[in-house]
Structure 1
Amino acid sequence: MTDTASNSTREQLRLEGFDLIDERLQYLLGCLEDALVSTGETELLPYLPWSGRVPDISAAPEGLPQLYSIGFQLLNMVEERVAAEIRREREKALGAESIRGLWPQALRDLKGMGLTPEQILAVLKDVQVEPVLTAHPTEAKRSSIRERHRALYGEMVRNEFPKYTERERRRIRERVVTTLETLWRTAEIHLVRPDITSELRNATHYLRDLFPAAINRLDLHFTEAWRDAGLPLEMLRSAGNIPRLIFGTWIGGDRDGHPLVTPEVTEKTLKELRHSAFKLLERELAELSTQLTLSRYLTPVPGELQARIDHLAKTVESPEAVKEILHRHEEEPWRQLALLMALRLREQIKGKPGYRNTACLTDDLNLLSRTLAGAGCHMLEEDAIRPIRHKLEMFGFHLATLDIRQNSEFHDKAISQLLTAAGVEDGENYASWPEERRLDFLNTELLSTRPFIHNDLRVGTEADDVLDTYRVLVRHRKHWGTNGVGALIVSMTRKLSDLLGVYLLAREAGLVDLTPEGLVCPLQVVPLFETMDDLDRSPGILKAFLEHPLTRRSPADGNQQVMLGYSDSNKDCGILAAQFALQRAQTALTQVGRDSGVNLCFFHGRGGTISRGAGPTHWFMAALPNGAMSGGFRMTEQGETIAQKYANLANATYNLELLLAGAAVTTAHHRHLPPVEDPCQAFMARLGDTSQAAYQNFLKAEGFIEFYRQATVIDALENSRIGSRPARRTGKKGFSISDLRAIPWVFSWTQARFYLPGWFGVGSGLEKLKQESPGDFAKFKEALPHSTFMSYVLTNVETNLASANLELMSDYAGLVEDVELRDRFLGMILTEFEKTKTLLAELFDGDMKTRRPRMAKTLDIREAPLRVLHQQQIALLREWRGHVAAENSTEADALLPKLLLSINAIASGLRTTG
């Protein structure tokens, strides 16, 4: 097909997608109308969004925010489903390679680089991708709401089947209406702050119930793409399950500023994850058994198979259940073995003896494989047992690895308490010791196995918490090894002693091994560099850390994780300077790794918004500096992004495939292609410095805090029940921006439609470059299309600008009581906004609506109902703040749920929180 014909087909499919969105949305809105009638909410019918009616908003009923919130939820669902449909249509019309970022295109690119099948396999063997599910307070919806969404999505998919009769379609519509009735009567917001158990339960749904099904599809997609690319399947199979996909989580392990994550919570989390893994594997084996119906009267039963059945029948401590299995399936020995394996896992959840580790279960799976192959059932082994072995490798007996994260300042307090209790001179001032003194002390202590205090001695809140947490890991390791436990992550890593101090605390808790060469920590200590200053210092810190004898002795499989924070760096210095600092740090850190002979696995702490690192995953990977992808890739999946990416099987499969294929292609590029200097590199320092100055001058301007707190919903967010974590890192009262977490910082600007952290300062940087060096600006524009990184960054900035709304910014600024203050800061914001928008349009040769019609469509369709919600929210804020100021706590508390519902409704419309 010619390029012209291909472009024509793409345009036709895009327009078809727009029509499908409108058609499906109207269908669901019709069902919502029926649900409103049946629930007696007829006064809301004139206010249905996208109905073409223009009612009087001033007389709107109380349920309007909920109505619009549900409307947005339906729209989001429709857009996700239509995107999947259009991808399918594109594959039919243009071939699988036409879909950007998936395996067919990835393998074509790898072959296009001139790589042999052996070289491609060598790359894939090194690829390990690990999404890490976190529970940051950015998921505004309750789990009950998400359950209703899953039911609606299922009915929507069923309704696509073209051969249903009218009666069958009527039944589907009735089920949709019923689900919408329930959704209408289900409370949308958390009136009680969710606990960690409920957050873990939500993550477990994805890990245990959704991802395993997606794995089956992923594996099939990869196998088909490999075969269709003309690559030998037997070579792929002999390499094992590659590339590798595993999962991690922070829920129950991330205690940075989260006092509710206690050692007991961590212990319970590890147990729950283990039991969920057993349930997953038990379910898989039970399903497998239904396919293993080979009869002993038609197929000779190998002696080793019968011997294993007999052994399990004697050792599984559930005689009645064993008897039932052997009697019911007397003719089917392979089925007996699979069911006995499942029973053993089920009993293991109850604390009874079972598989000591995954290797023991693998032995039984291998026995099934061998004996099935011996019976000539090679396809059955390929299609039924290999997928379970794959899941056992991925999920193990732990489901997801649990990282333990704590703040360096917290560790300093813990060490101070230990030293004080042990009578070390000036130990109470450890946190303020000069770095040289800290290092001398730590290096001397790490030569000794002697602890400071007895295990049962309590010496202080911080020390007790850290040591008790590490003792939980010691007990887990004793029974289950290090499987299931991730890294010890040090947030706000500022210097080498912040990392070595973790070794000291690990020694104190017994979380170390003694070798002839000295102490070894069985878990990796991982720095998290977050602020711009810390990112710039990170290469020196990492170099010294990698050269430390204890680090060199500790097992890391030749890899060292380094975590990068996208949120605090942005809050610290603005989006351009932050992105440049992150790129600069990765380049320098990668060189440190090379010099030390260590592969670095970067752990990207990305949030759900562009200002916190979000953006198309495959483009994000392509924009990484050369060498920064050695195969390992970790990234956080936070809050509402988990549901957006993984709530249904089709979307989950698509997004996981993007991750795996993107990691493979990027690793191959970094390994096999010569590094090419970014053509925009020469301009980054100037742009970063100017944009940072503009951003920081804005934040430091007199009266900024007052303007910010009145022009956004930050005070309401601080009273919300969205997540279990406090809005402020230290829990201190006060209005310090530095103490405020990046999530509510971004959330508050987003709700008020400023989107300020995602663009402010960019216009000033570009303007100064153009004014001072018009020729350099022209060169920058010419180089931009050839810079993957700079194109990615500025396209994301443009998306934030398009999502912002000048009229609503002014309306929210109207909440600022001081007129002079309001006009001054709003003037600065509007000037920077217009400057940024104009200069980006010049760089990209046109505005976003012309160049990115799909993005423009998804923004435009939301704007009218969003404007109504914003106006209501502004009125609610004004009234609520009046009650708070007058100390009318009863009235303020009564109004808060309405305010939180409006925040939730707007978040649904914007498809983002923080």
Structure 2
Amino acid sequence: MLEQDYRQEKDAPLRHDIRTLGNALGQAIQRYGGYTVFDTVERLRKDCKRLRDCTRQLHQASADEAIRLQSEIDQLGQEIAEIVKSCDLDTAIDVIRAFTVYFHLVNTAEQYHRIRRRRDYEVSNSDKPQRGSLAALINFLKNSQLDVSALQGLLNQLSIELVFTAHPTEATRRSLITKANRIAALLEEHDRAEASMTPRERLHWQRKLEGTIDLLWRTDAIRQVRPRPLDEIKMGIYYLDEILYDALPDLYEEFEELLQASYPGVTIPPFMHLGSWIGGDQDGNPFVGPDTLLAALRLQRGYVIEHYRTAIEALAQLYSQSLNHAHITPELQQSLEYDATCLPEYDRELGPQTALEPYRRKLSFMWKRLEATLALPPAPNTASRSFGTDISADAQQDETSVAYQSAEELLKDLHLIRQSLLADGELDLAQGQIRKLIRQVEIFGFYFVALDVRQHSERHAAALSELLRVTGLCEQDYTTLEESERLRILENLLHDPRIVTRQGLQLSQDTWHILNTFQAIRQAHEEFGPKAVTCYIISMSHTLSDLLEVQFFCKEVGIKDLPIVPLFETIDDLGTCTRILEAAFTHPDYRPYVENCKQQQVMLGYSDSSKDGGILTSSWELYQAQRRLAKLGQKYHIDITIFHGRGGAIGRGGGPIYEAILGQPPGTVNGRIRITEQGEMLSFKYGLHEIAIRNMELVVAGVVQSSIPDEAIIESQVHPQPSTEWVTAVERLSASAHARYRHLIYNDPTFLSFFEQATPILELGWLNIGSRPARRTKGRGIEELRAIPWVFSWMQSRYVLPSWYGVGGALEAYINEDPAHLGQLQYMYRHWPFWRAFLDNLQMTLSKADMLIAQSYAQLVEDEALRQRISREIQEEYERTERTVVSIVGGKLLLDTSPVLQQSIQLRNPYVDPLSYFQVVLLHRLRTLGGPLTLDKQAEATATPEERERARLTYAVLLTINGIAAGLRNTG
């Protein structure tokens, strides 16, 4: 279907893969969709590709050539419009499906090619290892002449956590993801065995590939039912269970091997972990609560313990050493005797043979104890108890229970075996599977992945207000009080030894929801260990009282060491966050609490700050906030860990993670970082084993490099401090871009109408891609809209507006003020990682935008004057942004400095275009009939012809949304 013409010879295998997959898809379309569908796909493909070529040539054409090209462009546009409009709905749906499935195949081929290129780097043993790889990191450390003690100190302080979210951004169904993984496995099989394949094996391989693509073609890309939180929990577990359980310890193993070769004796502590919001993120999601928190942890425990049992069973089969030929340590012998006493019946079941095979016997006991661990009953449901009562006695297990009460107990047994192997000279065995299992237990514990809990600050204030009123502790409405009065009440509550939240109080369901959440957190700590719930995040934190309210709820249930994490999301809050934290660090109640927790996390919201103030102002305020927080932590001797709430798209803080980490302000990483991994990116970044390792090594390499003090590096300075002139320049640019962005988005009362009509924002709510509503409240304004659908809808309409609007006007005004400013910005691009990462991301997102396609969406706006005015403003700003960015970064076109990425986007765009043309036509037809409608089987039987057409049109529109997301590799 696609003739890829990559210039780099190294990408020849990718061209071959795409051609093979495209041909197989073409055959499937003809078998199941018919020749009409295939012919329509081919005509659209060729016309859209030619239209792109003509448009690109037009920029550099002579006057006469430009006239000819413009005529051809007009003619092609008419032909494409006629093809799209002439399709009946069934044909349109199949054509949309064809392009959508094609993108899933291309995405799979490109992902696998990333694996291929990573292996090629390793095989070549090049002096220049792959950028951002662990090998490149080791070279950097050696070239910097970092000594062993400094490196060990850095490794000991490392704390990296990647936190999965369930935000409604994963438009691809799991059924499609698993089939894509099957195709990647077949491509790998072909790579490894191509030279030695017999004709019969080659034929069987081709049949397996075609069969999988046939299934992909006949699988519905649209979820018919909105996923529940339990479905999202299971989806998160899929990546843990299938990929990350092995990938993360494999990353550790690779890092250890590379380090030992250059720094013998250096040890690597378990510095990298995974976290999750899936099941714990209550902010704006009425379907997530205390029960889902515990359900997620229990489900995860079942999966991870089964993994341990499988690994232990494999070790038991392997470790057949006999006491006639091997020796064990006295400690292991004592452990065996203890196990036999605790499990006498199972000991007899094992039989006399295992008495001579101590390792196999010990591992069998461990397998049995893990079986008992799986059967442990849940801890008492403290949510239904009197608040503040001592429940530890109720949670105690029978002392004679053989179940492991904690992962630490299992680790102790594993270390006993490994130490015995080492003592007996079994070095290879001690370094093999059991070492990997030890690392897995260290990483995943008995909960697989720790959960965060998140709730909106207003929910805490409302719950406390009702509680104070019902108990008679405050007659006034707490939510209406000034901050000073709130603090006075909270201080009294924190000093009061009595329990305020008593059983039997007549409280609303919303308030009980808050109270029961904290009981569930305590219950989770007792049932799964203190690390099972990592922290409590407060969305839209504005004041010190927001933190103390959560501290009060913790105090009520006896939680003393749960980190309280304020989330600063608006531009104003980013500016005042250090003032709030300084008040907290000097508060006599909060300071001891944070010292007991041994850390202070601060979460910074990329998504909402960008939606609030525009991409440049958001990026700059995030940068400045981190600098101020680092100084604050030094002043009060408190370790501050920045939690980066990044999204997948550039408009939500996305972009290459390695460059993003290197672009952080000097002195702000310090070996500690938490980063969200959004739902939309999980399949892309963690869908394949080696891709997962590649993404995690980029994070590790970035954090280690960013955490090395400049004084420890002999070769060069890795963290250039921005000069006063640079800071002043970006301050001015930020203020200018902010004013331009706010003027259009928030200050123009007609903009909302344009946005709702020129994008599929109103239709997005019908795409079942997450359990969380698109808005925090029932309001219709942009303020209430979440950042994810805001970015998603602009991406769909090809405006991609949140990722660039306001920047071009600011840059142009600054350069026009003084021509020397252009040279200054060019110098900053070459020497300041922050500015370089920002402009490179801007180039990428501008390349994905397309104003010609966007104009088609603008035609959906009914008010002609409104349509022309705002379209013109956006078009002119886009041209300004494109022009000024190219002048700063160099070259003639966007991404001339990144030709591989440039070509990838240029090759993809023509195949996204047909989906966009279909979406515009279908949106118009659907809205004319009254808007989206879905029918279940029962309703369909009694529906009118018009209702059936609306439902079918709704389905077709949702297919285009899914396809464009796959083509652009971005949703929210």
TM-score by structure 1 length? Answer: 0.93
Equivalent position to 2:311, from 280, 284, 289? 284
2: CA distance, partners of 1:312 / 1:51: 70
- d(CA) in 2 for partners of 1:64, 1:343: 55
Q: Partner amino acid for 1:904?
A: N
Q: Distance in 1 between matches of 2:40 and 2:343?
A: 62
Match of 2:744 among 684, 692, 698: 698
Is residue 627–residue 670 contact of structure 1 (8 Å, CA) maintained in 2?
no
| 2:356 equivalent to 1:336 | no
| Equivalent position amino acid for 1:75 in 2 | V
How far apart are 1:97 and its partner, in Å? 4.1
For residues 331 and 712 of structure 2, the distance between their equivalents in structure 1, rounded to whole angstroms, comes to 47
Aligned equivalent of 1:7: none
2:43 & 2:862 partners in 1: Cα distance? 35
CA contact (8 A) 1:705 1:735 kept: no
Name the SS of the counterpart of 1:64 in structure 2: helix
Residue matched to 1:350: 375
1:522 is matched with 561
Contact 1:530/1:566 (8 A) holds in 2: yes
Deviation at 1:449, TM superposition (A): 2.1
Name the counterpart of 2:691. Answer: 651
Aligned to 2:827: 782
SS in 2 for 1:438: helix
2:930 aligned counterpart, secondary structure: helix
Residue pair 1:91, 1:97 contacting (<8 A) in 2 also? no
Contact 2:30 2:37 in 1 (8 A): no
Secondary structure of the 2:318 match is coil
Q: What amino acid is aligned across from residue 808 of structure 2 in structure 1?
A: G
- Cα separation, 2, equivalents of 1:571 and 1:287: 51
Where 1:628 maps in the other structure, the secondary structure is coil
Residue 154 to residue 386, structure 1, CA distance change in 2 (3 Å): same
1:462-500 deviation per Cα after TM superposition (whole angstroms, max 9, x unaligned): 221111011112222234431211101101000110111
Which residue number corresponds to residue 901 of structure 1? 959
* Partner residue in 2 for 1:515: none
**1:231 Cα offset (Å):** 1.5
* CA drift at 1:255: 0.2
Counterpart code for 2:773: P
Give the secondary structure class of the aligned counterpart of 2:368: helix
1:687 correspondence with 2:706: no
* Change in 2 beyond 3 A, CA 1:671/1:760: farther
Q: 1:551 aligns with which of 582, 590, 615?
A: 590
Find the counterpart in structure 1 of residue 107 from structure 2: 76
The one-letter code sitting in structure 1 at the alignment partner of 2:443 is M
Cα distance, 1:684 vs structure 2: 0.9
What's the secondary structure of 2:495's corresponding residue?
A: coil
**Per-residue deviation at 1:111?**
2.9
Structure 1 residues 163 and 323 mapped into 2: Cα distance closer, same or farther (>3 Å)? Answer: farther
Decide whether aligned partners of structure 1 residues 50 and 205 sit closer, same or farther in structure 2, where only a CA change above 3 A counts.
farther
Q: Which of 375, 380, 386 is matched with 2:429 structurally?
A: 380
Written as runs of structure 1 = structure 2, the 5 A alignment for 1:755-904 is 755-846=800-891, 847-884=893-930, 891-904=949-962
Note if contact 2:644-2:675 (Cα within 8 Å) is conserved in structure 1: yes
Report if the CA contact (8 A) 1:524-1:556 is conserved. no
1:618 and 2:676 are equivalent in the alignment = no
Cα deviation code 1:333-353 (max 9, x no counterpart): 212222321232133212274
Q: Percentage identity across aligned positions?
A: 31
Q: Which runs of 5+ in 1 are unaligned?
A: 1-11, 513-520
2:285 corresponds, among 246, 255, 258, to 258
| Unmatched runs of 5 consecutive residues or more in structure 2 | 48-79, 378-400, 934-945
Report if the CA contact (8 A) 1:206-1:646 is conserved.
Answer: yes
TM-score (norm 2): 0.87
Residue 401 in structure 1 maps to residue 450 in structure 2: yes
Given the superposition, is the C-alpha separation of residues 527 and 853 from structure 1 closer, same or farther in structure 2, using an over 3 Å criterion?
A: same
What RMSD, in angstroms, separates the aligned Cα atoms of the two structures? 2.3
Distance in 1, matches of 2:712 and 2:475, equals: 54
Residue matched to 1:739: 784
Structure 1 residue 596: Cα displacement:
0.8
Q: Residues 96 and 105 of structure 1 are in contact (CA less than 8 Å); yes or no, is this contact kept in structure 2?
A: no
User: More displaced, 460-469 or 584-593?
Assistant: 460-469
Look up the match of 1:532: 571
d(CA) in 2 for partners of 1:437, 1:340: 60
Conserved? CA contact 2:406–2:528, under 8 Å? yes
Paired AA for residue 753 in structure 2: E
Q: CA deviation at 1:176?
A: 1.3
The answer to whether the 8 A contact 2:44-2:914 is kept is: no
Partner of 1:633: 673
Equivalent residue in structure 1 for 2:24, among 31, 40, 50: 31
What number of residue pairs does the alignment pair up? Answer: 883
Correspondences of 1:426-575 after superposition (within 5 Å): 426-427=475-476, 429-508=477-556, 510-512=557-559, 521-554=560-593, 558-575=598-615
Q: For 1:549 and 1:342, how far apart are their aligned partners in 2?
A: 49
1:155 is aligned to 186
* 2:196 counterpart SS class: coil
Return the letter of the residue paired with 1:231: Y
2:276 matched residue in structure 1: 249
Task: Report the Cα distance in structure 1 between the residues aligned to 2:139 and 2:308, rounded to whole angstroms.
Answer: 35
Deviates further, 196-205 or 39-48: 39-48
Paired with 2:735 and 2:873, the residues of 1 have a C-alpha distance of 19
Take 1:185 and 1:287, find their aligned partners in 2: how far apart are those partners? 38
Q: Identify the match of residue 185 of structure 1 among 201, 206, 218.
A: 218
- From the superposition, tell whether residues 96 and 84 of structure 1 become closer, same or farther in structure 2 (CA, over 3 Å): farther
**8 Å contact kept, 1:810–1:826:** yes
Q: Report how far residue 274 of structure 1 moved.
A: 2.1
| Equivalent residue letter for 1:560 | Q
Q: Counterparts of 1:906 and 1:507 in 2: how far apart (Å)? A: 49
Letter of the aligned partner of 2:802 in structure 1?
Answer: P
596 and 865 in structure 1: CA distance in 2 versus 1, 3 angstrom threshold:
same
Which amino acid letter does the alignment assign opposite residue 722 of structure 1? I
Give 1:82 deviation, angstroms: 1.4
Q: Is the 8 A contact 1:191 1:897 kept in 2?
A: no
Greater mean deviation of Cα atoms: 352-361 or 20-29:
352-361
Residues 725-749 of structure 1 deviation map (CA, whole Å, 9 limit, x = unaligned) = 000012x0x4210000000000000
Amino acid at match of 1:858: S
Query: Is 1:272 aligned with 2:299?
Result: yes
Instruction: Determine the C-alpha separation between the residues in 1 that align with 2:247 and 2:44.
Output: 36
Q: What corresponds to 2:62 in structure 1?
A: none
209 and 314 in structure 1: CA distance in 2 versus 1, 3 angstrom threshold: farther
- How far off is 1:503 after superposition? 1.0
SS of aligned partner of 2:163: strand
Match of 2:117 among 54, 69, 86: 86
| Contact preservation (8 Å) 2:931, 2:950 | no
- Report the equivalent of 2:722: 678
Aligned mate of 1:146, from 177, 180, 187: 177
Task: Using the TM superposition, name which of 430-439 and 766-775 deviates more.
Answer: 766-775
Superposition deviation, residue 388 in structure 1: 1.3
Q: Which of 761, 786, 794 is the equivalent residue of 1:714?
A: 761
Say which of 736, 760, 776 aligns to 1:729. 776
Deviation at 1:141, TM superposition (A): 1.3
Q: Is the 8 A contact 2:720 2:832 kept in 1?
A: no
- 1:231 is aligned to 263
Counterpart amino acid of residue 476 in structure 1: A
- Give distance in 1, aligned partners of 2:317 and 2:140: 40
Provide the rounded CA distance (Å) in 1 between the counterparts of 2:501 and 2:204: 69
Q: Which amino acid aligns with 1:406?
A: Q
Q: Distance in 2 between matches of 1:87 and 1:209?
A: 21
Deviation at 1:858, TM superposition (A): 1.3
Note the C-alpha offset of 1:787.
Answer: 1.0
Q: Describe the superposition over 1:180-230 as per-residue Cα deviations: whole angstroms up to 9, x where unpaired.
A: 2222222211111001111111111222331122134313321232134x2
Distance 1:414 1:720 in 2: 33
Cα contact 1:758–1:797 (8 A) shared by 2: yes
3-state SS of paired residue (1:549): coil
- Specify the code of the residue in structure 2 equivalent to 1:896: T
Match of 1:389 in 2: 438
**Greater alpha carbon shift after TM alignment, 125-134 vs 766-775:** 766-775
The residue type equivalent to 2:537 in the other structure is I
